[in-house]
């Protein structure tokens, strides 16, 4: 079975990209890139004599990882802790693994919640399509004063 790699890490530490170029490569805003770097989340970002940040492929690998961890909801302080543990070496592997395992579980719960919300929206979309096609009456309209409870959402374990 092939290894899943969402992005290829690089060991190339040759400084070559400005913040603007990194923004174009990654789709991240220059503000976000600077914020991550200022927060100490991207190891090995070089500076020119004019103090311009220069990113290597290695630094880009870190930036992509940091952005991924943030996108999963991991707070900045925990991302920073994770980066520091990586820099400390293999002795921190158990703690790093535990952090990733916990974040994966948190993300799984978020996905389940989003799936339930998506199902409600799909249900409501079909409900309104039927109404727009003239098939049925609006059972969600309180002015209709129906005796039965309206069928507002599908039966989900919310």
**pLDDT tens-digit profile of 57-108?**
999 999 999 999 999 999 999 999 999 999 999 999 999 999 999 999 999 9
Q: Tell me, rounded to whole angstroms, the distance of Cα 103 from its chain centroid.
A: 11
Could you tell me the CA-to-CA distances from 128 to 9, 32, 133, 145 in Å, in that order? Answer: 47, 40, 8, 19
pTM here? 0.75
């Amino acid at each position: 079975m092939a290894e899943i790699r969402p992005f290829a890490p690089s060991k190339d530490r040759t400084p070559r990209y400005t913040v603007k170029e990194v923004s174009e490569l990654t789709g991240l805003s220059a503000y976000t890139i600077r914020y991550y770097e200022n927060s100490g989340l991207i190891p090995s970002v070089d500076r020119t004599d004019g103090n311009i940040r220069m990113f290597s492929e290695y630094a880009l690998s870190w930036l992509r990882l940091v952005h991924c961890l943030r996108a999963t909801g991991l707070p900045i302080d925990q991302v920073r802790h994770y980066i520091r543990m990586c820099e400390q070496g293999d002795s921190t592997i158990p703690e790093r693994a535990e952090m990733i395992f916990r974040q994966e579980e948190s993300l799984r719960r978020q996905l389940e919640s989003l799936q339930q919300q998506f199902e409600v929206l799909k249900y409501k979309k079909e409900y309104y399509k039927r109404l727009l096609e003239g098939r049925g009456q609006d059972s969600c309209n309180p002015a209709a004063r129906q005796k039965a409870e309206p069928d507002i959402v599908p039966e989900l374990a919310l």
